[in-house]
């Protein structure tokens, strides 16, 4: 638990381990409270090693005995690990330890979930299983024997033997310990097969709890699609005879890419039309792809140290977003990613938790599985691909796989393959990895009647504690030019902005063009421009790039909302007219039109106000957003019934993009209709729904309309036995509550007999939902802050990782008024004063508190 002086680890202190690990043999005798783990590990001193200390990590282990080459030894043991005198030649280390999976509520290392054994070793969980150099640059070949009475006994690699009460697995691919996995329990299998392009026949298994068999088919298909896609697009083939996926109910994150044995939060793999929404299906498909793609980007080529986490995560997120774009709609996926980046990464990059994509120091690595490492990390790869072009990108990736297969690498290695294939100097580009903060780019323009148009870009990144002296970045800005009648007079081209201020010229234009800037959201920046009146509405009507066209609508909505909040004016008629034309345009993808109906989030609006020097008032932001929704409902009133009816799906439910798009437009229409029909249509949809997408959207509308009671009870009666559906039931009540009821609703739900707070999904469904309710969480009396703090204090000793992640709800606290700041500060201090607070939570809150 809490260290007296938490240790900060620095990238600059990296030194290799002084020994090679040539083989690892593990034997597990499973017992819930006293599992025995015997390890037999061959070490060989590395010639010329700078650090020759034999230190093995180990935490919460009871050492039964250890030997070297068969002779018992007595190591010096501390709470972090052990040291021992070892010979100056290769030797065999053997140790036996006892661990307590049942008592492991932190869900790191070997733990139990519903009577099943499972593991989570990334980042530093293996040290809770046995003594080992638990660092990603130590790679070895593992053989694992599992003794236990369970019908299913799994580990990494290929099965060797299986007898009553025992199984042996061998993984031929050297791997770091964080990719180790073990599963044992009474599980049922949904089997599949895949033949790789070179003819390897692979057995696929999706292991679930009895009762969940009906929720496996989609995940299995997503896995096959991912395997095919990685062969076709990246030339990457699977490399074992078996690929196992296991669904686990108690899991801190989404899923984990353990070699040959992916372990998933059940919410990230189990799906059926009756129990999962279209959004769930899309997320599941993406996470299955993500974990599968890690087999090459993460497992075959791994990270030298945890500072390089973005090496595997940024690249793998980028790859899974390419996959989703190919499987579904590319513009819709891109717009979703932009919304997500602004909701999660921008606040991080602009607040006290700001850190570079490759951080330079940390106290607890688990706190660095962030939107910056993952999502900004993926944006950086997208920019690199934009800069070098798709062909050079493919060549560089081929070289990366060829040159670094089997290695533990750094960002320098990654960039070097691009330099070597393209001849480009990426020294300045590398700042994207080392510099925190979201760059702001101010655009000005000039037109002369001789037909020359110039664009000038001035970039600046706000300084932060992490990067006090930011330098100019290489920013690819994709630009197209439109003529006043809406024709594209210059197709998209990428301008490379490298200087603090830089001008680009376009010659030979017949008339002053309208620029379409940052097409495809070509860089993760904030673009600023004083747009002439009417031009944003023009872009909403005419832009030929779907992302910037959407952005034009978003900008109009945002500016109108900000004016409503600040000046009490009415919603902007130009916005509503433009929106109306777009929504009525049958030539556009329904999913795209549904996105157009969205509004900027309330916390986005708060950020904008605060940046512009106005203290955000959450109640006023809520009121303006509601008024804007009412205005949309009124302005589109004659279209809504038709939109709703025309986008009903005939025939059986399918979770594909085509059907999902129709349902999302019908759902958006329903939510506006409910504002005027008192919930009649929502009631009818609730009664008739045969799929969760429609059942849940009807329920949300009924709650919002103040008519949710009967439907909520019916929903609970129908679904009380389905834990994933019940997570939705818990969450929706908080999310859809009126601001004045949100805290009381969350508090009431924590009293519900099914509120199993030790389960991370259930905890998040109530407390996480509260943090997402902007006006509710920021209730003026501070009750949202204190409810969250009470629960964080309670959860911390049980599950530090999930506690620490939820602390980020407080990261924007300095935006708000003095009373709210006082309220939050008091809660931060109260949590920080808790005896034995975990290192995870202490680090997060100290950084937020400042």
Residues involved in catalysis: 291
Query: Shortest CA distance to 407 belongs to which of 305, 551, 272?
Result: 305
Of 353 and 518, CB closest to ligand 0A1: 353
Contact (CB, 8 A) for 194 and 202: yes
CB of 254 to ligand 0A1, least distance (A): 6
CB of 295 to Zn ion, least distance (A): 11
Residues in 349-368 at the binding interface with ligand 0A1, rule: CB under 6 A: 366
- Told to check if 315 binds ligand 0A1 by CB under 6 A, we report no
Query: Shortest CA distance to 525 belongs to which of 333, 336, 338?
Result: 338
Q: How many helices (H) and strands (E) does the chain have?
A: 30, 31
| Residue 736 near which of Zn ion, ligand 0A1, none (CB within 5-8 Å, type-dependent) | none
CB of 183 to Zn ion, least distance (A): 19
CB of 294 to Zn ion, least distance (A): 6
- The DSSP call for residue 41 is E
Residues in 39-68 at the binding interface with ligand 0A1, rule: CB under 6 A: none
| Residue 369 near which of Zn ion, ligand 0A1, none (CB within 5-8 Å, type-dependent) | ligand 0A1
Of 258 and 548, CB closest to ligand 0A1: 258
Of 288 and 845, CB closest to ligand 0A1: 288
- The DSSP call for residue 135 is S
What are the structure tokens assigned to 687, written together?
């009664």
Q: How far apart are CA 594 and CA 555, in angstroms?
A: 16
What three-state secondary structure class fits 297? strand
Quote the Cα angle for 494-497-503, to 5°: 95
Cα torsion angle, 164, 170, 171, 175, sign = positive
Query: Shortest CA distance to 746 belongs to which of 725, 730, 761, 729?
Result: 730
Cα torsion angle, 532, 537, 543, 546, sign = positive
| Residue 255 near which of Zn ion, ligand 0A1, none (CB within 5-8 Å, type-dependent) | ligand 0A1
Sole window of 247-255, 488-496, 609-617, 694-702 interacting with ligand 0A1 (rule: CB under 6 A): 247-255
CB of 320 to Zn ion, least distance (A): 8
| Ordered alpha helix ranges (H), 294-389 | 309-327, 330-340, 346-349, 371, 377-388
| Ordered alpha helix ranges (H), 180-271 | 217-234
| Residue 230 near which of Zn ion, ligand 0A1, none (CB within 5-8 Å, type-dependent) | none
Neighbouring residues of 403: CB distance < 8 A, sequence distance ≥ 6: 413, 417
Interface residue with ligand 0A1 among 95, 116, 146, 255 (CB under 6 A) is: 255
| Residue 253 near which of ligand 0A1, Zn ion, none (CB within 5-8 Å, type-dependent) | ligand 0A1
Sole window of 32-40, 119-127, 205-213, 626-634 interacting with ligand 0A1 (rule: CB under 6 A): 119-127
Residues in 288-317 at the binding interface with Zn ion, rule: CB under 5 A: 313, 316
- Strand partners for 158: 170
- Told to check if 289 binds ligand 0A1 by CB under 6 A, we report no
Interface residue with ligand 0A1 among 145, 209, 259, 290 (CB under 6 A) is: 290
Size of residue set near ligand 0A1 by CB under 6 A: 15
- Told to check if 291 binds ligand 0A1 by CB under 6 A, we report yes
What three-state secondary structure class fits 752? coil
- Told to check if 123 binds ligand 0A1 by CB under 6 A, we report yes
Neighbouring residues of 79: CB distance < 8 A, sequence distance ≥ 6: 59
| Residue 324 near which of Zn ion, ligand 0A1, none (CB within 5-8 Å, type-dependent) | none
Of 212 and 313, CB closest to ligand 0A1: 313
CB of 297 to Zn ion, least distance (A): 9
Q: How many CA atoms are closer than 13 Å to the CA of 461, on its beta-carbon side?
A: 30
- The DSSP call for residue 583 is H
Of 178 and 777, CB closest to Zn ion: 178
What are the structure tokens assigned to 713, written together?
């009870």
Interface residue with ligand 0A1 among 59, 100, 122, 168 (CB under 6 A) is: 122
- The DSSP call for residue 132 is B
Q: How far apart are CA 147 and CA 161, in angstroms?
A: 12
Interface residue with ligand 0A1 among 257, 545, 722, 727 (CB under 6 A) is: 257
CB of 282 to ligand 0A1, least distance (A): 16
Sole window of 116-124, 574-582, 680-688, 803-811 interacting with ligand 0A1 (rule: CB under 6 A): 116-124
Query: Shortest CA distance to 562 belongs to which of 624, 619, 631?
Result: 624
- Told to check if 369 binds ligand 0A1 by CB under 6 A, we report yes
Q: How far apart are CA 450 and CA 509, in angstroms?
A: 8
Residues of the shown chain interacting with ligand 0A1 in the complex, contacts defined by CB under 6 A? 120, 122-123, 252-257, 290-291, 313, 366, 369, 801
């Amino acid at each position: 638990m809490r260290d007296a002086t938490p240790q900060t680890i620095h990238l600059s202190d990296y030194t290799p381990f002084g020994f090679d690990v040539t083989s690892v043999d593990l034997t597990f005798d499973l017992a819930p409270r006293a599992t025995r783990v015997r390890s037999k590990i061959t070490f060989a001193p590395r010639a010329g090693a700078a650090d020759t200390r034999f230190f093995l990590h180990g935490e919460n282990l009871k050492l039964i005995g250890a030997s070297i080459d068969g002779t018992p030894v007595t190591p010096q043991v501390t709470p972090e690990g052990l040291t021992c005198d070892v010979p100056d030649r290769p030797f065999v280390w053997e140790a036996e330890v006892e661990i307590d999976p049942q008592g492991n509520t932190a869900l790191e290392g070997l733990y139990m979930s519903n009577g099943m054994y499972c593991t989570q070793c990334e980042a530093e969980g293996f040290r809770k299983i046995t003594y080992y150099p638990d660092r990603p640059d130590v790679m070895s070949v593992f053989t694992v024997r599992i003794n236990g009475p369970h019908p299913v006994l799994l580990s990494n690699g290929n099965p060797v033997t299986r007898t009553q009460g025992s199984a042996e697995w061998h993984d031929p691919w050297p791997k770091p310990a964080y990719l180790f996995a073990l599963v044992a329990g009474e599980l049922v299998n949904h089997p599949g097969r895949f033949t790789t392009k070179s003819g390897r026949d692979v057995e696929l298994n999706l292991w679930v709890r009895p009762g969940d068999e009906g929720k496996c088919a989609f995940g299995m298909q997503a896995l096959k699609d991912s395997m095919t896609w990685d062969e076709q697009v990246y030339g990457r083939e699977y490399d074992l005879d078996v690929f196992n996926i296991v669904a686990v109910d108690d899991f801190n994150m989404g899923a984990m890419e353990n070699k040959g044995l992916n372990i998933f939060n059940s919410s990230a793999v189990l799906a059926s039309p009756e129990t999962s929404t279209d959004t769930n299906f899309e997320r599941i498909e993406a996470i299955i792809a993500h974990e599968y793609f890690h087999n090459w980007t993460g497992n075959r080529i791994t990270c030298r140290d945890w500072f390089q986490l973005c090496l595997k995560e940024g690249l793998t997120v980028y790859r899974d977003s390419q996959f989703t774009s190919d499987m579904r709609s590319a513009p819709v996926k891109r717009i979703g990613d932009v919304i997500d980046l602004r909701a999660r990464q921008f606040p991080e990059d602009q607040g006290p938790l700001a850190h570079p994509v490759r951080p330079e120091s940390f106290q607890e690595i688990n706190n660095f599985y962030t939107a910056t490492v993952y999502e900004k990390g993926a944006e950086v790869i997208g920019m690199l691909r934009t800069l070098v072009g798709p062909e050079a990108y493919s060549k560089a990736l081929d070289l990366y796989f060829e040159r670094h297969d089997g290695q533990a690498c750094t960002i320098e290695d990654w960039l070097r393959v691009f330099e070597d294939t393209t001849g480009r100097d990426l020294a300045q580009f590398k700042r994207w990895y080392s510099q925190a903060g979201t760059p702001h780019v101010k655009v000005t323009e000039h037109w002369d009647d001789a037909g020359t148009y110039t664009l000038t870009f001035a970039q600046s990144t706000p300084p932060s504690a992490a990067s006090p002296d930011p330098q100019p970045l290489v920013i690819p800005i994709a630009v197209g030019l439109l003529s006043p009648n809406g024709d594209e007079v210059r197709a998209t081209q990428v301008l490379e902005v490298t200087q603090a201020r830089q001008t680009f010229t376009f010659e030979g234009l017949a008339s002053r063009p309208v620029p379409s800037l940052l097409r495809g959201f070509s860089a993760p920046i904030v673009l600023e421009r004083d747009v002439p009146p009417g031009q944003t509405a023009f872009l909403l009507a005419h832009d030929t790039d779907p992302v910037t066209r959407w952005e034009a609508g978003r900008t109009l909505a945002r500016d109108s909302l900000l004016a409503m909040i600040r000046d009490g004016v009415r919603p902007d008629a130009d916005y509503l007219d433009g929106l109306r034309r777009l929504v009525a345009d049958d030539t556009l993808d329904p999913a795209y039109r549904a996105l157009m109906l969205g509004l900027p989030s309330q916390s986005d609006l708060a950020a904008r106000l605060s940046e512009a020097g106005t203290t955000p008032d959450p109640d006023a932001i809520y009121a303006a957003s509601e008024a804007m929704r009412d205005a949309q409902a009124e302005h589109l009133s004659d279209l809504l019934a038709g939109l709703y009816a025309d986008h009903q799906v005939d025939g059986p439910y399918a979770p594909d993009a085509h059907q999902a798009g129709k349902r999302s437009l019908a759902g958006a229409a329903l939510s506006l209709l409910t504002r005027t029909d008192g919930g009649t249509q929502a009631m009818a949809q609730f009664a008739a729904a045969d799929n969760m997408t429609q059942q849940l959207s009807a329920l949300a509308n009924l709650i919002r309309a103040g008519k949710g009671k009967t439907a909520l009870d019916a929903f609970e009666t129908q679904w009380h036995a389905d834990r994933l559906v019940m997570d939705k039931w818990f969450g929706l009540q908080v999310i859809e509550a009126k601001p004045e009821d949100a805290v009381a609703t969350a508090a009431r739900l924590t009293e519900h007999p099914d509120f199993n707070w030790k389960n991370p999904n259930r905890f998040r469904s109530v407390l996480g939902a509260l943090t997402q309710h902007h006006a509710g969480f920021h209730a003026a009396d501070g009750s949202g802050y204190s409810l969250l703090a009470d629960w964080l204090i309670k959860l911390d000793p049980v599950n530090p990782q999930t506690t620490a992640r939820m602390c980020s709800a407080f990261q924007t606290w300095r935006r708000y008024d003095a009373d709210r700041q006082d309220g939050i500060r008091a809660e931060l201090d109260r949590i920080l004063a808790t005896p034995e607070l975990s290192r995870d939570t202490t680090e997060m809150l100290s950084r937020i508190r400042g």
